[in-house]
Structure 1
Amino acid sequence: MQTQTPMNRKSATRLLLVQWSRFQNVSVKLEGSTLFTGINGSGKSTILDAVTYLITGNTQFNKAAKDRDRTVLGYVRGDTKSNGTARYLRSGEVISYVAMEFDDPVAGAPLVVGVCIESPNETAKPASSWFILPETTLDQINFARREGNMLWITPKNELTVRGERLKGNAFLGRERGTEQVIRALGLRCGVSKYRGKLLKMMAFHPENNIDQFIQECVLEPGKIESLSELREQRQQFERLQDVYVRLSEGKSQLEVIEKRSQDYEKKKRTLHIRELLLSYQDLQVLEQEEKEVQSRKSVLEEQLKELEKRQTELEEAQKTAQERLRIAENSAVFQDMKETMDSLQRQIDAAAVESRVWEQRLKELVALEQKLTELGILLRRDLPLETEEQKALSRLSGTEMDTETKISVFQKYGEKVDQQDTLYEQNKIHLQDQIRAREKEMAEITEKIRKLEANCLVFPPEIERARKLIRQELKNQGIDTEVFIFAELVQEVVDPEWRRAVETFLGRKRFYLIVDGAYCGKAMRVLKEKKLYSANVVLTDKLPESEVKKGSAAEILKIPNVYARRYANSLLNGIHLCEDLDELHDYPKGGLTRDGMLAKSYAVSPMDLSGTELCLGEDAIRLQLEQTKEERRGKETLQRKDKDALARILDCRRQIVGIDWDPGHYEFSAAESLEKSKKTKRKLESDLQAIRDNPDFTAVLKEQEAAREQAKDANAAVTENSLKMGKCGNSIEGYSKELTGIRESIALKKRDYEEKCDLHLELKTPMLEEYEKLRKKKDGALKVLTQRSVDNSKSDVKECEKLLESAQLEYCRLSELDINQRGVGYIAFYREEYRNLAHVKIEEARQRLSEQAEKLESAFMNDFVAEIDESVRDAKREMEAINQELKQIPFGSDTYRFVMKERPDRSIFFRICRKLQDYMSSAEAYMNSGRDDEEMEHDIKEFMNIILSEEDEQEYTDYRRYFSYDMEIVSRQGDQEIVANLSKKQGSASNGEKQTPYFIILAASLLQCYPKNSCCARLAFIDEAFSALSRERIEQMVKYFEENDFQVFYAAPPEKISSIGAFIQSTVSLVCTGRYTNAVEGLVKE
């Protein structure tokens, strides 16, 4: 059958198989479409495999029969699949050729394409080399020659064309060779795509499921390679998430530890207060006991005074009795001398009384001299005495000076002492105020040291209060977020030499509050509503992203937290660190030197660095502790100095107050007066004695006896009173000793109390307040606390220690730390651990997790979603192109059209893609945008989770599964068009009706590779052709292919010759001769 070759088709005219399967050296003439027929095993599929291998490098041989055992090696060696040594038709080194000759009607010249296959042995992979020879026929190439019964195959390096040997560069590898082959045949599609479409038609199997058929036979499989990378990114994300979760759990456990540490510290503080209170209470009890004993002693002293007064009266009575006795004992001779003797006696008595008075007054002057001497020594620094003045003051009881001089000296010294006492009073008030104020400061410093030693960074109390209040208010609104102080987010000061200058420059900005940008507005409202005048909240949501400027003050601060880093950059990027004044002069807008010279806004000034308390960096606690301890030592020195000064002033004032400075209260002439009085008394006594010594006087015995009895009674009364006085004196002495013991106990207890106060100075004020409260509750009782209460506090502290250790042990297990790192001694360690974790590690983990989440979403959107979206759009374009072809090539009165519908269970993907259209259908453009579409963000996360949790990877990586497919059949019946879906006709249609649309689908798909207005090969291969079609349907299909300029190679059994061969140009029968197969052109009748 002769037909004219279409001008838009490069037609295959000959096929040469040299040592390919059972074909030794077979050349087949091809005239248009060709039917290869023969019995099973004759090699029909082998020819199709050879041609597809030559044109596309296909190795999925005999795909129609799903025979996976056929290989290039098996074809070259002639694998018969039999057992034994005769399995292969060829042994040793084998060279095979598959070549085709094409006619190019446009060029008006033939074209040969071929492949040389070299197999060195039965195990090694054969090497294939493709070649393209324009303007050449197969006959012009020396593939093989026969010499008698021997067939000689030409090696590749000896292959010649018209006698000229081919050069080495004429042979190409599989990838480049097949690409050049299809280019030579006029095709512009990719080899892989072309191979897929050829194989789908060649291995056609009718399906009842049109959806599955279109997916598998029309559309190319999706090759989404990004899922594995996406899974790796997800695994990395999950690893980082695990780290973050573990750190978060650790942080939560550390917060439990901190809570229990605070409970312990509170209980410990309560214990210290109670111990201090008990000591203070004991001191108060002792002082009260002292007062009571002193009171009893004072009562006895009053009694003693009464007894002494009584003693005077009794002594007067005694004197009267003794006087009577004296008179009685005198004789009557002396009666006339009675008045003279009485007068003398009265004068003697008066002189004796006067002497005693002057003796007492003289004692007072001696005591005054002693006091003045002691006072002079005490006041020698503040009120030094001149030598003469000192000598005069020490002779007030003597007779060296006259009375007026003594009074003058005493008065002048008293005036100077009074002036000094006024100064002492002023200094006393000043020192007491100063000591009280410093004591309060030292209490605060001691409390600060306690916190620092417990590894708590100390910030201004008003800042801590504001932080706590803002966090609580946010928590009340259901927002659980941290409120940080900027200083605690600075992990390290890289260059400590600049620390003091930079911290002085930052000043109170170090204590500004940092909250998450999402809650900045709410924190502002809390600041306003609660009137937190001393706090500042950084507007973190408005801070611009910026890099650390090299050479700036920002460079020396290492800050993991994103917001704190931005804030530091905004404050310090404009401050250049300068080595000297010359460099500072070059940075007038912002510069700083180590010693605190600051240039800002074209002005320079020195900063006072001495008062700056360091609080930045992980070593801030150590530095603050050293600085605070040094401050406390300084204040302790000043306090001791002031207390010593106050004690001295009080001592001086006690001495001053202990002296009566009124000169009118002293008899400065007492020495002279005493001597004079004694002299008078002696003279009177001498005169009286002279009278008594007269022998003429005798005493009346009777009167003498009565007088003696009266004198005896008087003496007894005096003795009894004296005994009472002695007893009272002894009691007073006992109380004095008791007071001495009590005062010694008070001194010891006071020392113990003061030592405890010095140890816990910060607790003194709260202890005193607590003591007064308890006294009010107990009606002013001094004893308000028992040792049992202290013991109970100790038990509470021990219980807190146990709970603390339990929490610490749990953290050790969580973080795989040494379980021996527990106990109250490790409170500081766990606070450091919390600070490092909460401010550094968890922040770094959060950033890494955030970055990984961005990478994961970026990989998902930019790679996975973008690839699927691109594949979907390509598939839609291909379907539209096929539909355009189908519209132009009706099958009888029917036209066909593909229908693609989005699967409902993939709606989330299509929703994402539709929203991406607002970003030029670019996932990258969306990822770089503000991403403020909550629904879009939710869809992205949900779709990603769906994909990453799907066990069947192809379910979402194959773009074809995102649609359901069908084919609309439009039948023209008269003037009417009837539209039906192929899926709905599957059950009612005949086999031919079912298969016909599938062939049309495949043909339309293959036509996409053959440009309509270009001259190119238009090959198609159908293995086991039209097995279920009727003769009428076969004729329709063959005509359909021919009308659309296909050159089809059919492979079918002999029974199909009449139904297929009758409608095509040529038929080639394959005949088995022994172990080999030959081709017979034309119809062969058996």
Structure 2
Amino acid sequence: MMQNRKTATKLLLVQWSRFQHVCIELEGSTLFTGVNGSGKSTVLDAMTYVLTGNTQFNKAAKDKDRTVKGYVRGDTKSNGATRYLRQGQVVSYIAMEFWSPAEQEHLVIGVCIESPDEVSAPGSSWFVCRNAQIEDLNFCEIDGKNMYVTPKNLLEVKGVRMKSAEFMGRERGTEQIIRALGLRCEVSKYRSKLIKMMAFDPQNNIDQFIAECVLEPGNVDSLKELREQREQFDHIRKMYEDLRDSKNKLVEIENKSQQYETKKRNLNIREMIFKYQEVLAKQKEKEEIEIHVTELEQKKKELEQRQKDLQKLLEAARERLQIAESNDAYQGMQKSIENLKSQVQQISFKIEKEEEQTAKLLRIQKALSTEIAWLLEKLDAGSRPVLLHLGEAGSSADQKRKELLRLLDAVEKQQNLLVSQRVHLEDEKRIRHEELTNLEKQLKQLDANQIIFPEEVVKAKQVIKDAFAKKGINAEVRMFAELVQDLKDTSWRQAIETFLGRKRYYLIVDGKYCLEAMRVLQEKKLHAATVVITDKLPDSEVVKGSAAEQLVIPNVDARRYANYLLNGIHLCDSLNELHEYPKGSLMKDGMLAKSYAVSCMNMKKTQICLGQDAIELQKKSVREQKQIVQEAYDQVMDELKQTKEKISSLRGVDLEINNYHVEAPELLAQNQTEKHKYEDTIRQIQESPEFAAILKEQINAKKAYQEVETQQNHLYTKIGECQSEQKGYEERRKNISGEIHTCEKLYEEIRMKYLELERAMLEEYEKLSAKQDEVRVVSELSLKKLRFGLEECVKELENEQIEYCKIAGKDMNQRGPAYIPFYRKEYREIANVKIEEVHSKLLDQSQKLESAFMNDFVAEMNETIGEAKREIDAINRELKQIPFGQDTYKFKMQEKPERLLFFRICKKLENYMNSPELYMNANREDEEMERDIREFMDMILNEEDEEEYTDYRKYFTYDMEITSRQGEEKITADLSKKQGSASNGEKQTPYFIILAASLLQCYPQRSCCARLAFIDEAFSALSRERIEQMVKYLEENGFQVIYAAPPEKIGSIGQYIQSTVSLIITGRYTNAVEGLVKLDEFND
């Protein structure tokens, strides 16, 4: 046995799968062989379970159905009651015995598995017995064909019962076992490496395979300081992120609050409209009633007048009839003619009046087609046909009267509106005229070569000059703009002048008179002037690339002031450049960065006043302004002219409805017809024979009398109808007044409640009314929908508020619209105070972390990478000494491009004796190095998976270089590139080497420890030569390998190892036989 290896010497399986009670001697590396189903993999599963708690059983065959419970109960995978070899309560043991040459004693490790029944999950307990052998423990007792398995609580070692504390769970138990075996790696990593070698599943990703299976993980204990700093940084960052999350949540709350307020405002406006429209609707109804009442009153007057006229006609017709019936022939005829002429005269008088009334209506009718045709467009479409035939017979008098009332009302309103519009246009005309006058004045001043400055500053400047003159002071008082001789690059003019603003008009006086100028400023209360304190200005040079460099200023004081104002303003050509100068920078398009804030200046209104060509530029600007104002003035004049013409056209319209007789056209036609009848009758009487004439006169007189009588009766009926209708409207007029009062009271209540919304409400109502052409524009249904939407918005708001309370640990009862001010205060406190304080702490901690990063992380990582490279070099040297057939192998380790920053940092640290501390204490003037450190730090701190950067293995790509000797020629190729073309043997051999090298990492070379390796279905694709080389490689590296292979592989493997164990199926169970067994005996 090897002197630095704890060698497994025995394996005990009690009630494990088909093994009832089997104790197997292990002499170094051992081959387990047997036909399929005999239990080769079962043995390997047992050993890996007791060593590491592995439950990924038979992974080489990818059999996922094997479980601890199945192994303990002896699951044969058959159907029926005989599926399980063991029923009821079952106790199983797996134990391994090891010999330690360093300690000169044996060691037993084991696991007890208890399965109470077929349903419950089994429980496992691991144990370690030092200075003991398997036969020292009473695992079971065999009496003839009966076997009694010792329960865990009765298990003894050398006659002494084990204590319950000596039995451990999976995590602690397997950790104690591998520590007892001399291993110091993590159980999970050891388990992973054992399983990978046992299952042996070659992958296409050779890079990942080498990184995970060969190299040690990169979690280094010496990074404690960095971890502590990182924990502190993470703590502060967590605080910052919590505050940021709170801030973001408060922003969401604010958005929901604004949505709520908008919807609440809209609802309030619509509720106001709902009340307001009722007032208007009632008022409109009242107006309609008033129109109807007025219309009926007028109609009644007209009917009564007609009734009077008819009464006269009736009297005349009666008199005519009496004369025709009682007079003698001649006198009767004469009196009849006189009577008819009298009636003709009366009708002619009426015709004259009706012609006058008809002419009046025709004038309005004509005006609506000519000078006031524009007014017709503002009336309802239904009114136009009636009004356009107002002076003609055809339409009913009632309809004419109604539309005429509407027209007169519209005329009156338009007159008031146009008068108001005329006043407004007259005011605008005056303003535009004053602007034109002022611009003309400015042009004359500029033509006189006088630059334009603000008038109030010019006046203040003169006041100071006058005050100086009174005191005998001979000193210039000038504006800063007057002292700027020129600009070097005029393309910067607009931006610089806009930035300077009113500072261009600040007054510059000689330093020794500065205090005196300040006194004048104070005494005269010159609010429009600002005096520069020139005697206190610092003396400085012009900064290259600044705005100050653009100004050519001979005056010393003005130069100093320009430097003070503009030296800190860097001129930039792009936003990226602007971003690099947050304290002060400017772009030609007006983008300004100042005091770590950015704005976009409005340069359109800036009046140029710097430089020699300022006058010409001002002229151009004034002319452009004058043209704009002149166009505006002309437009005002045109509008004013049109308004006056409209006012004039409306003045000829009589607004008194009583002055119009809408029935005149119809009555005119009737009376003209009647007049013609009377004239014809006179003519007939005069031309007829006496008797015929008298007879006919009697007939006609009677008929005329009857016709007038009939008309009078009809008129009485119409008067009665009119009075009845008038009474109904009068009653409604009384009621509508009360309804209006009630609606106005309700509206006034809501108006006072939402007084600030009145203007917005009126504007919204106008829009809706114009769009819908209705008085009532808001319905109760629409209000219900708005209220429902508001309720939903409140729910969303409360949900956001509750989420914030969960994050911030606030009382969740603080929710609802009433708490909107509370959350806004929370936002101000967090966004403006707390988050800034924590951010400052975060920056401080970041600096500490950077120091720890360089002094610990980078230094340790660099050292660890160096050790890894040395280890790879050592493995490569060893691999070089062990050729595999005609091939030799070599690990390749190349830096990843995405880790360029780290390797660049390490490269530059070579100039500081590879000492980060030495660099951190230096001047640190290398900008690229500083940028690399910051970027790499940011990458690490922002990476969610810390192992991406703390695990050195992820800084490289890996491959296996294969060198094949073909005669005298050597051919080299990378394994990653040979995956598709190589034979199975060629593919498997490098992976065995990688896995062996990986497993070696768990076995310290200088320590006495177990060096187990498991290979299932060993070397299935390798040639005999490669098997020999691989077995030899594993033996020379101190591995105790447990192989599992079918009988046909015995000749290839068995002759190179120390012992072979044959597994033979006997009935339903499997037995182990040490040594080789003939092939036909395996199933005996």
Question: TM-score per shorter chain, which class?
Answer: 0.3 to 0.5
Give the alignment's TM-score, normalised by structure 1: 0.42
Give the alignment's TM-score, normalised by structure 2: 0.42
